[in-house]
């Protein structure tokens, strides 16, 4: 079975630009979460989507937005990029959102560099 | 609010030596606790999880962790380190009263294994 797939794997943008990151969850998983991992730190929660609805939002500015499609894939959008947005963006899927014991399965991430 | 603290950003051991990675949690309710491992240029992979069953949890690759409520700790151990264990390790807590069970990750501990 395919794992969580993310695209693109690497990208370079300049300040002020917009970026879209994509994620396909494991087949049968209905929940997708996005995390930002700055070098040397742990993943920070950005969004959680379940059944195409936003179910959780972390402490990130409105420049960050996301959506989930009927096939449960997801996009993370970041507008007006800042240097501080440079990070590894991780997508994780899980079967549902109702249990804290749910295991997140992570993709390999999209490495964003903002110049 | 829930949180985890990982003591030591780097831990260095010799191959064959005991591995001990420390994690202390803060949670107002009995937590769910996780250890994830991240190899270079990869996403996070679950090592083990505690969900209020046995306090000693065995995971993959010979790792185990013990939940100690009195010490609010969930330290990760492995009796004998292998070169392939070199990676970044993250402790996470997931349980909020009436919340959405979104995991909160620690800053991570980099395990270095010397030959």
Alpha-carbon dihedral of residues B105, B28, A46, B100, nearest 10 degrees?
120
Average pLDDT over residues A2-6: 91
Paired strand residues for B46: B36
The number of angstroms, rounded, from the C-alpha of B110 to the middle of its chain's C-alpha atoms is 12
Per-residue tokens: B94: 């997931």
Per-residue tokens: A77: 């959008």
Q: What mean pLDDT is reported for chain B?
A: 90
Spatial distance between the Cα atoms of B18 and B51, rounded to a whole number of angstroms: 25
- pLDDT: which is higher, B21 or A52: B21
CB nearest to B32's CB, from A35, A101, A108: A101
CB nearest to A55's CB, from B100, B103, B106: B100
Q: Is the pLDDT of residue A1 over 90?
A: no
Shortest Cα distance from B38 to chain A (angstroms)? 9
What secondary structure letter does DSSP report for B27? Answer: -
Average pLDDT over residues B16-27: 94
Inter-residue contact B24 to B34 (CB < 8 Å)? no
């Amino acid at each position: 079975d395919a794992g969580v797939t993310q695209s693109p794997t690497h990208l370079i943008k300049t300040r002020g630009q917009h970026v879209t990151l994509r994620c396909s969850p494991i087949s049968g998983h209905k929940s997708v979460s996005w995390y930002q991992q700055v070098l040397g730190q742990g993943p920070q929660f950005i969004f959680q989507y379940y059944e195409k609805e936003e179910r959780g939002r972390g402490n990130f500015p409105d420049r960050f937005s996301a959506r989930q499609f009927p096939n449960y894939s997801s996009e993370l959008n970041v507008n007006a990029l800042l240097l501080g947005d440079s990070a590894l963006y991780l997508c994780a899927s899980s079967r549902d959102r109702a249990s804290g014991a749910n295991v997140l399965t992570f993709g390999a991430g999209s490495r964003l560099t903002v110049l | 609010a829930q949180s985890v603290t990982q003591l030591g950003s780097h831990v260095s051991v010799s191959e064959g030596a005991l591995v001990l990675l420390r994690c202390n949690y803060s949670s107002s309710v009995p937590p769910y606790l996780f250890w994830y491992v991240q190899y270079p240029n990869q996403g996070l992979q679950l090592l083990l999880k505690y969900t209020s069953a046995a306090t000693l949890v065995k995971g993959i690759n010979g790792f185990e962790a013990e939940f100690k409520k009195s010490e609010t700790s969930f330290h990760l151990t492995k009796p004998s380190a292998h070169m392939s264990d070199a990676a970044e390790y993250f402790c996470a807590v997931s349980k909020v009263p009436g919340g959405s069970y979104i995991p909160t990750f620690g800053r991570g501990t980099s395990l270095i294994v010397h030959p």
